[in-house]
């Protein structure tokens, strides 16, 4: 069965991402072609990248990196739940991506963004980053507004207009993840 991680891309106290990710997980319960699991960056406290060898070498020395790599390697695809900070994603999410290489390669990714303009600029930034990681990003995405999908910008209350884009995201991500899975066993070429 295809396994997809829903990665909570913020560790900020009072973050909205946990509620958004929980909603995505709840909506995924009706899916039969994949298993979904929450992965909270708060459970994987990674300092600023502190590995001596480049991630592409796959020679991780630190226990926190090995734990993170083992978790990410379990999955065929990912949904990144990201807020938008200053026209980009969070530093903690970018750092977590930068820690690894082969664990991301030849896998699919989708996005649920939130912010003043739906997190769309954070998602666009992530698309560029993940393309460099040799990941395939699906076209469907969910853009949640802090003004209309959160009461007082903090209590998550998504409207039904997000159901169709999320269903499309699930469908695309599941099919792309399954299609790419034969490539996951192949070691990436040395750069």
pLDDT tens per residue across span 126-179: 999 999 999 999 999 999 999 999 999 999 999 999 999 999 999 999 999 999
- The mean per-residue pLDDT over the stretch 29-46 comes to 97
Residue 23 banded pLDDT, cuts 50, 70, 90: very high
pLDDT at 189: 43
| Cα(64)–Cα(69) distance, integer angstroms | 9
pLDDT at 184: 81
| CA 102 to the chain's CA centroid | 16
Q: What is the pLDDT of residues 60-114, one digit of tens each?
A: 999 999 999 999 999 999 999 999 999 999 999 999 999 999 999 999 999 999 9
- Outline where DSSP puts E strands in the chain: 2-8, 34-40, 77-83, 108-115, 136-145, 150-151, 155-156
Distances from the Cα of 65 to the Cα of 7, 92, 107, 120, 132, angstroms = 16, 14, 19, 29, 20
What domains, with CATH codes, occur in the chain?
A: 2-182 (3.40.50.360)
pTM over 0.75: yes
Residue 124 banded pLDDT, cuts 50, 70, 90: very high
């Amino acid at each position: 069965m295809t396994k997809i991680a829903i990665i909570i891309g913020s560790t900020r106290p009072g973050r909205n991402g946990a509620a958004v990710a929980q909603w995505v997980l709840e909506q995924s319960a009706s899916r039969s072609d994949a298993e979904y699991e929450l992965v909270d960056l708060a459970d994987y406290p990674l300092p600023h990248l502190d590995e001596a060898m480049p991630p592409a070498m796959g020679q991780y020395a630190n226990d926190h990196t090995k734990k993170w790599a083992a978790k990410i390697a379990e999955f065929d695809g990912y949904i990144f739940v990201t807020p938008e900070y200053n026209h980009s994603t969070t530093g903690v999410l970018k750092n977590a991506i930068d820690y690894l290489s082969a664990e991301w390669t030849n896998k699919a990714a989708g996005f649920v963004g939130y912010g003043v303009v739906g997190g769309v600029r954070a998602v666009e930034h992530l698309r560029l980053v993940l393309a460099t990681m040799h990941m395939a990003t699906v076209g469907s995405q969910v853009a949640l507004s802090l003004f209309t999908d959160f009461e007082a910008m903090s209590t998550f209350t998504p409207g039904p207009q997000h159901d169709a884009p999320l269903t499309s995201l699930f469908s695309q991500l599941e099919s792309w993840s399954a299609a790419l899975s034969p490539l996951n066993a192949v070691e990436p070429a040395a750069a």
